[in-house]
Structure 1
């Protein structure tokens, strides 16, 4: 690891570690950012595209049947000659269905098929763990998403909102014309879509509101839910996809359903139809010709500041890999990670849990009762490392239909969607699967699932700079060790702390401990709230859970590093700053500030070390140095 200038660290840890890299790093034209995480993503993309292109070029398919179906589908997504020749034809049957809708009774009749196909509707149903009894899958009803990325973009003082809507309107008008609408009709569809979108906005949550998991759980008696709409028979719609009689439905956004009739009614039927058309075209254009695919990315690229769309080759890879994500993940995990590395990292996770347990046992601000419950939760924490033990059975039903069999990219995607949704709805009322992975093994990320009380570390993140046998133990603890402890800390952040050892929403805290924890969480909000970044300010409330997890992760990882014979805290803090290196467009940084529950990468690197006393002694940081934070202002929770 490169040497680090101590004087520079006193000014800015992140810049001291990453300054030279920042000077020379260039954001690829088809990216909105580059850096530690993205470098790994790009390397995996290159490796897997090389492998799969070679397989696709062979006359024989892989022996693994699911991998063979993926390669067949990948050949289809790569065949732009066929896709360009078909143009918009594959989407026309879907559009014709919407065009031919006469009234709500007609929509009611067709809705089961549309739910299975995942087509745009003014609400959606899905199945997930019941947050108060996570052993069983419950029924959820969701509000639709808005066109702009967050409801705050619609606020009168938000200058980005109108500009983005203008980009969206222009893109959609052009898309609809290329699909076959004349200019006047295309404009009318877009105008109506924007009107209907506005009706949704007041009743959905902002990113900040949605970041509070406890407010997701709003169970409603099934009969009360079915009375939500005067114009759609919600009971009949539910029975058409659920085999049984639900007692309740969980509404993460109850206000939308409280005002459902103001949005979904005969007066708005026409504009709702056009909203459905616009949503459909935007969502499905990526499966059509290259011209339609690239045009349909205009709005998202404007949002993120991405200069160019992905190449045809990359888009074909991501389309296919995204559809068969767990198949691709298992291939990557077995070939490039393996059982030995899986066992080694699993052992490292267990070591970090032991460190965490010792810290909980020594905790001075929790009562004995709450501390014992916290340790119980830790003892029940599930660990998933590298890749799943087996492939989900649903992928065995995925059969790719070639053009000779009447198939195209879109028809296959719709068929796969139907299979996946039928499988999901069949899980209603059934036991949950705690072993199920929600990320594929080739994903550069990690997560804690509060409903399952599990931590998951896909193979893709388990490499340098996060983890390597060529790095010192301290560097590894500053990388993957902090990431592991971060995910453990999520079990005890302001959201995770609401769930017990089984993942149930269940208060296991004493009132006094809850009050104390809320004060500590407020201090973390204050530490980040209003920090200047990219011409905007950090929202401390939006990012509090991730900041609590970062603080706990870094503190716990540091203790683990200090327990090794070769401890080197300079290497520890250096690698911590290095994993967060990131260069991004201003638009992307501002977008993340609005919707991302994580603080900006530079601030994650710089702020959290200030909370640790050893940071000051390691780099001889003193009052007056920009990186100095008075002891009274240092936030230490876990």
Structure 2
């Protein structure tokens, strides 16, 4: 997850990232309503055994251009755009005048961003008090209070803070400290010899100089050199993204009284005291060496260099909400240079993003009321029931898992919680002040309000009803501490979920997503948590070794995918998501079989189903028939392939390969199906086809795959 103080304090989730498959025609155009297959996107000239992804999406890929304001474009993007249009209509329909109600605050926040004249007139004046305070730091003992104040407005220095369940004691909240302080996306951008990263370093230095100069900071060139030097030293101590995935290695509890001994050079007690509210008795340090290096830098580096480093990160965090020169420079580097985006999003989209960041559930409440039928919840819950039963059957029959580990796995599965669509209790924004004529002030107030909300959880009971995504988010997630799977309303629409289509397509699409999220509970990191959300080793040593043999083979498969010269998928970094995809789709296929069997028991091959597994009827067909020329097995796999249509700009693809936990979408389709025996039969895949894997090379974890 990326910034805004709200998100800084959100947990690190094992999420399925979805990017909309955007057709060149209106959503669903060309779709055969009875099958859910989007024929207009398919390229029948491609052999599915050579490139299943292009077979399903080839004509869409050929006719689609990435919009100028995007770094990538696909299925997720299309749904995101559709949802944003709906949200815009809701916000702009709110009257301009009104009492201090939640609706009035939504409208005022949106309008404050759209009031470009007032923003330009103020220039950098709103930022000046902060810059003056930074420039006035003349002693190290002033740093803790300054950095605490900046932390509350989204400047993640000296560390990133997040409040989440304690991994060893999930009945209470804990404060996690993470490495921070780099302006480039990852340590590799400072240290790697790859040509792309070598090109970016001088571009970053030039950007820092320009942004500081635009903000009126003196000696911007010299300060930019200092920022680069300090961050290069920090990058040396930062953990890699693969190392930072390890839930055991990143669990390092430290009493607050001892943090100064573990990470000397910075007054941690003063920093946490200045944060206000509840001072934690202990913190959990995720990357101890990196945090220690940051503290050492704060204690030893020249104060003038530190002032420049702090000033840059402060300006960068707030530049998008200031006058055009700062906005444009921030975009020019962080979007254009890093990701290849050609132009900024329309101002209304950026305004809406701010509303979502600051008052996401207030907006979500209105989105659900207007666009999410209540019946969708029950329908998706029934699919979850089938998926859960499929996992139960497969885990119960696993030949490689011993009885002791199996009993623990089944207990964990039985304790899963499902959240669908939207929260039952909505956030209260009553204490938030919003002014229609003060964008910069609104941003500071929003971030402080969100920080207080999250930081204030310390010492209080766990909020079991809390959501970490809004209903209008096109995504889904699994939370290990809560042992819960969550599916926001916005993802429950075509092509992920077709309310009126045959369910083969739905089980391949949203069923694969549901299976993916359940699978995160049993991936290489989620499997370290038990059914109560507690991190403990419930596997026998032999079972863990057998599991890692299988996942190690998956790492090797994905390491071999190289979409660009010198840039390949990192199979270890993407392992959790690849396990989720493989297990999720395989188990979704088993679940679809259970639904078909239930329909057959009722004596109607095209029966409608609902209710508990094995009973009742509802909207949506479960059919064994060939529809629109495709068998149920074929429709199932096509459903999976359709949701991954996406195109990337080259620089963005490099960013994702190096920084993201997900494989590029082409491999999320092709890399999974080639491991599933049923796919070979469904599309008559032969040994001379490019995607063919010999049976003994196919990775199988839960027997559904």
Aligned to 2:32: none
Q: Does 1:35 align with 2:74?
A: yes
Aligned to 1:103: 139
Aligned to 1:293: 327
Between stretches 461-470 and 164-173, larger displacement belongs to 164-173
Q: Is the 8 A contact 1:493 1:545 kept in 2?
A: yes
Q: Does 1:235 align with 2:269?
A: yes
Between stretches 268-277 and 109-118, larger displacement belongs to 109-118
Between stretches 269-278 and 332-341, larger displacement belongs to 332-341
Q: Residue 257 and residue 120 in structure 1: after superposition, are their counterparts in 2 closer, same or farther (change >3 A)?
A: closer
Deviations 1:323-355 (A, max 9, x none): 212222222122211322122212221221122
Deviations 1:419-455 (A, max 9, x none): 2222322221222222211111111110001111110
Aligned to 2:497: 467
Aligned to 1:622: 686
Could you list the structure 1 runs, at least 4 aligned residues long, displaced by more than 6 angstroms after superposition.
Answer: none
Aligned to 1:71: 107
Between stretches 18-27 and 251-260, larger displacement belongs to 251-260
Q: Does 1:284 align with 2:318?
A: yes
Deviations 1:197-228 (A, max 9, x none): 11211121222222222222111233321324
In the alignment, the residues of structure 2 paired with residue 237 and residue 88 of structure 1 have an alpha-carbon distance, to the nearest angstrom, of 28
Q: Does 1:140 align with 2:176?
A: yes
In the alignment, the residues of structure 2 paired with residue 26 and residue 119 of structure 1 have an alpha-carbon distance, to the nearest angstrom, of 35
Q: Residue 256 and residue 338 in structure 1: after superposition, are their counterparts in 2 closer, same or farther (change >3 A)?
A: same
Q: Does 1:596 align with 2:660?
A: yes
- Unpaired runs of 5+ residues, structure 2, are 1-36, 597-604, 606-622, 625-631
- Unpaired runs of 5+ residues, structure 1, are none
Aligned to 1:338: 373
Q: Is the 8 A contact 2:234 2:293 kept in 1?
A: no
Find the residue that maps to 1:470 and give its secondary structure: coil
Q: Is the 8 A contact 1:32 1:304 kept in 2?
A: yes
Which one of the candidate residues 127, 131, 152 is aligned to 1:91? 127
In the alignment, the residues of structure 1 paired with residue 514 and residue 161 of structure 2 have an alpha-carbon distance, to the nearest angstrom, of 33
Q: Residue 632 and residue 197 in structure 1: after superposition, are their counterparts in 2 closer, same or farther (change >3 A)?
A: same
Q: Is the 8 A contact 2:147 2:158 kept in 1?
A: no
- Give the Å deviation of 1:120: 4.8
In the alignment, the residues of structure 2 paired with residue 353 and residue 132 of structure 1 have an alpha-carbon distance, to the nearest angstrom, of 26
Aligned runs of 1:449-598 on 2, under 5 Å? 449-535=479-565, 536-563=567-594, 564=596, 565=605, 566-567=623-624, 568-598=632-662
Aligned runs of 1:45-60 on 2, under 5 Å? 45-55=84-94, 58-60=95-97
In the alignment, the residues of structure 2 paired with residue 152 and residue 212 of structure 1 have an alpha-carbon distance, to the nearest angstrom, of 19
Q: Does 1:637 align with 2:668?
A: no
Q: Is the 8 A contact 2:389 2:591 kept in 1?
A: no
- Give the Å deviation of 1:83: 0.7
Q: Figure out how many residues of one structure are paired with residues of the other and give that number.
A: 628
Aligned to 1:608: 672
- Give the Å deviation of 1:245: 6.2
Aligned runs of 1:256-267 on 2, under 5 Å? 256-267=290-301
Between stretches 580-589 and 167-176, larger displacement belongs to 167-176
Q: Does 1:320 align with 2:361?
A: no
Find the residue that maps to 2:49 and give its secondary structure: helix
Deviations 1:365-421 (A, max 9, x none): 11111111111111111111101112223x222120343xxxx21112112222222
Q: Does 1:210 align with 2:277?
A: no
Q: Does 1:355 align with 2:390?
A: yes
The structure with more helix, counted as a fraction of residues = 1
- Give the Å deviation of 1:476: 0.5
Between stretches 408-417 and 108-117, larger displacement belongs to 108-117
Between stretches 147-156 and 377-386, larger displacement belongs to 147-156
- Give the Å deviation of 1:489: 0.4
Q: Does 1:198 align with 2:232?
A: yes
- Give the Å deviation of 1:111: 4.5
Q: Does 1:271 align with 2:301?
A: no
TM-score, normalised by the number of residues in structure 2 = 0.86
Deviations 1:61-105 (A, max 9, x none): 4x9932321111111111111111111111111111101111112
- Give the Å deviation of 1:51: 2.6
In the alignment, the residues of structure 2 paired with residue 242 and residue 287 of structure 1 have an alpha-carbon distance, to the nearest angstrom, of 26
Q: Does 1:382 align with 2:446?
A: no
In the alignment, the residues of structure 2 paired with residue 448 and residue 120 of structure 1 have an alpha-carbon distance, to the nearest angstrom, of 25
Deviations 1:40-60 (A, max 9, x none): 1111112212332232xx344
Q: Is the 8 A contact 1:376 1:501 kept in 2?
A: yes
Between stretches 4-13 and 38-47, larger displacement belongs to 4-13
Find the residue that maps to 1:457 and give its secondary structure: strand
Q: Is the 8 A contact 2:214 2:325 kept in 1?
A: no
- Give the Å deviation of 1:112: 4.1
Q: Is the 8 A contact 2:418 2:485 kept in 1?
A: yes
In the alignment, the residues of structure 2 paired with residue 376 and residue 633 of structure 1 have an alpha-carbon distance, to the nearest angstrom, of 31
Q: Residue 591 and residue 162 in structure 1: after superposition, are their counterparts in 2 closer, same or farther (change >3 A)?
A: same
Q: Residue 40 and residue 207 in structure 1: after superposition, are their counterparts in 2 closer, same or farther (change >3 A)?
A: same
- Give the Å deviation of 1:268: 2.9
RMSD: 2.0
Aligned to 2:203: 167
Between stretches 496-505 and 285-294, larger displacement belongs to 285-294
- Give the Å deviation of 1:496: 0.4
Q: Does 1:220 align with 2:284?
A: no
- Give the Å deviation of 1:166: 2.3
Which one of the candidate residues 83, 90, 100 is aligned to 1:44? 83
Q: Residue 436 and residue 573 in structure 1: after superposition, are their counterparts in 2 closer, same or farther (change >3 A)?
A: same
In the alignment, the residues of structure 1 paired with residue 585 and residue 162 of structure 2 have an alpha-carbon distance, to the nearest angstrom, of 36
Deviations 1:217-246 (A, max 9, x none): 111233321324554332233234365664
Find the residue that maps to 2:674 and give its secondary structure: helix
Between stretches 228-237 and 354-363, larger displacement belongs to 228-237
Aligned runs of 1:430-441 on 2, under 5 Å? 430-441=460-471
